[in-house]
């Protein structure tokens, strides 16, 4: 499906045939650029996900990082993971026309028909007391997904856009839909704060109101996924009360 969207003003584009990881390239590039730039790679030789887990990177899938220079404190900067998730869902809906097929899994995955089709990894570097740069890494299984045996036991099984929907989209074409979508959510975050993003994210949240497991290191807690709070933390309702969990791996 061909979807036309205007490229956001002032945002650069860099395409690399191969790279170790787009987030690593963003870190190297950060001292040399003054504005945001999308870095897209045909393949990654050392792609990684959350907690430094390897991320399989065959050609034809989407590996990109948006390098930014945010001005806010670290807490606000981290909220851009929600902007990225909303932009990803918007891009998926645009190229497939299937709004009901996609859901958002806290903290940073996009699900397609209940399987993981995309992941987001935020990394940042300091500058004095603030954040010098932000790298928003995004991996999307456009045409292929890892074997279920390659993911952690109990994790959401990976799926590909092509296998689940029959839609084949090239990485550059997907980027050209995703970048304008992210720019719109970025503008909302900067001008209106997190509240509109939080409301929209919750409208598409996977397993909201259901029992989930949240694992942080060796500690695993089970409860009802009640909401996310104004900082983006997971609110988990347990018999003894509701607790806020700022970071964890979630299992259904």
Quickly list DSSP for 91-126. HHHHHH--GGGEEEETTTEEEETTEEEEEEEEEEEE
Q: What is the CATH number of the domain that holds 151?
A: 3.30.930.10
Q: What is the CATH number of the domain that holds 234?
A: 2.30.30
Q: What are the per-10-residue average pLDDT scores of the chain (252 residues)?
A: 79 96 95 95 79 67 96 91 98 98 97 97 78 93 87 86 97 98 98 98 98 94 97 96 95 92
Q: Which of 182, 203, 224 is the last residue of a domain?
A: 203
Whole-number Å distance between alpha carbons of 179 and 194: 19
Residues 233 and 135 in one domain: no
**Which residues form the domain of 246?**
211-251
Number of domains in the chain: 2
Residues 227 and 151 in one domain: no
Rounded to a whole number of angstroms, the CA Rg of the chain reads 17
* Contact assessment for residue 17 and residue 42, using Cβ atoms and an 8 Å cutoff: yes
Residue 1, in any domain of the structure: no
Condensed to tens digits (0 to 9), the pLDDT of residues 143-156 reads 999 887 777 777 89
Residue 2, in any domain of the structure: no
Q: Which of 203, 220, 242 is the last residue of a domain?
A: 203
Q: Is the pTM of this model over 0.85?
A: yes
Residues 187 and 90 in one domain: yes
* Contact assessment for residue 196 and residue 82, using Cβ atoms and an 8 Å cutoff: no
Residue 191, in any domain of the structure: yes
The secondary element (H helix, E strand) that includes residue 25 is: helix 22-29
Whole-number Å distance between alpha carbons of 131 and 232: 18
């Amino acid at each position: 499906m061909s979807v036309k969207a205007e490229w956001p003003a002032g945002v650069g584009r860099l395409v690399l045939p191969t790279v170790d990881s787009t987030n690593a390239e963003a870190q190297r590039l950060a001292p040399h650029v003054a504005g945001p730039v999308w870095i897209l790679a045909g393949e990654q030789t050392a792609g990684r996900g959350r907690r430094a887990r390897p991320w399989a990177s065959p050609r034809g899938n989407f590996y990109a990082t948006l390098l930014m220079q945010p001005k806010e404190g670290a807490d606000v900067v981290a909220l851009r993971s929600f902007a990225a998730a909303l932009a990803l869902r918007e891009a998926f809906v645009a190229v497939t026309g299937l709004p009901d097929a996609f859901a958002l899994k806290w903290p940073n995955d996009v699900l397609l028909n209940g399987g993981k089709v995309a992941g987001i990894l935020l990394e940042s570097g300091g500058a004095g007391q603030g954040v010098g740069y932000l790298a928003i890494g995004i991996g999307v299984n456009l045409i292929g997904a890892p074997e279920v045996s390659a993911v952690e036991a109990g994790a959401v099984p990976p799926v590909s856009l092509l296998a689940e929907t029959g839609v084949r989209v090239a990485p550059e074409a997907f980027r050209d839909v995703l970048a304008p979508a992210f720019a719109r959510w970025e503008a909302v975050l900067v001008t209106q704060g997190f509240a509109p993003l939080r409301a929209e994210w919750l409208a598409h949240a996977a397993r909201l109101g259901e029992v989930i497991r949240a694992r942080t290191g060796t500690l695993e807690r089970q409860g009802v996924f009640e909401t996310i709070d104004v900082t983006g933390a997971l609110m988990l309702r347990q018999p003894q009360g509701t607790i806020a969990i700022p970071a964890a791996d979630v299992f259904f």
